[in-house]
Amino acid sequence: MMRHLAWMVDENSARRPLKSRGTTWAGTCSRVLLRLGLRPNTVSLLSLLFAAGAGVCLFLTPSLPQFPWIWLVAAACVQIRLLCNLMDGMLAVEGGLKSPTGELFNELPDRLADALILAPLGYAEGSAAGIALGWAAACGAIGTAYIRAMGASLTGENDFRGPMAKPHRMATVTAACIGMLCLEISGQAWPLLFWALVFINAGILITGWRRVSRLASNLKSKPSP
């Protein structure tokens, strides 16, 4: 209990605040992974593997119209990627497995995972505009993370605000994949992916603006040395 409370004090500023960390199912999952001998850095790399799996599925969807369930596989990979993102931190805390490279493995795979999912989403949409929006979303996701990291280096505070932070981006991608599955099964045609990409990019722009504005305000309010 004391270790958990100490982590809440020391790490909250550096880790995304998630209510799911305190749930029974999350604690059970982390204990199972701990018994299996998995290390936090290994789980971080697994998140990258599942992100790549989601990206491959998305990239292949235009050439596999006879297999609409690939959308469900992509959605599942996206969610398992998020589960890995949750578990790596919990393993470090509950198992006492923090390492000097923990933050590196926590951040770098996340940035690559965003690109591996968002850029292929544009190729799944298929049009030139959709592909451009996919790459824009991938770059924008990295940009919002850069703003957060820069803010942390300047003020010691990590700003995880949205409206299109990582959990929101991945929720949108998951919903779009499930929506596409439903459309293909029902034989309907609607530009769902295009509007999902527009929604993600618009949210990323707002997120970046909000984080930069907050950072500028914090820097202005800092007392002069």
pLDDT by residue for the chain (225 residues), tens digit each?
334 433 333 444 466 777 777 788 888 888 888 888 888 899 999 999 999 999 999 999 999 989 999 999 999 999 999 999 999 888 877 667 778 787 888 888 999 999 999 999 999 999 999 999 999 999 999 999 999 999 999 998 899 999 999 999 999 999 999 999 999 999 999 999 999 999 999 999 999 999 999 999 999 887 766
CA distance 114 to 99: 24
Q: What is the pLDDT, as a whole number, of residue 4?
A: 40
| 201 burial via Cβ count (<10 Å: 0-12, 13-18, 19+) | buried
Cα–Cα dist 164/150, whole Å: 18
Cβ neighbours for 103, distance < 8 A, ≥ 6 positions apart: 14
CA 18 to chain CA centroid, nearest Å: 13
Residues 6 or more apart whose Cβ sits within 8 Å of residue 124: 58, 59, 61, 62, 130, 180, 193
Query: What does the pLDDT read at residue 99?
Result: 80
Which amino acid is located at 64 in the chain? Answer: L
Q: Which fold has domain 2-217?
A: Four Helix Bundle (Hemerythrin (Met), subunit A) (1.20.120)
Give me the pLDDT at residue 27, please: 84
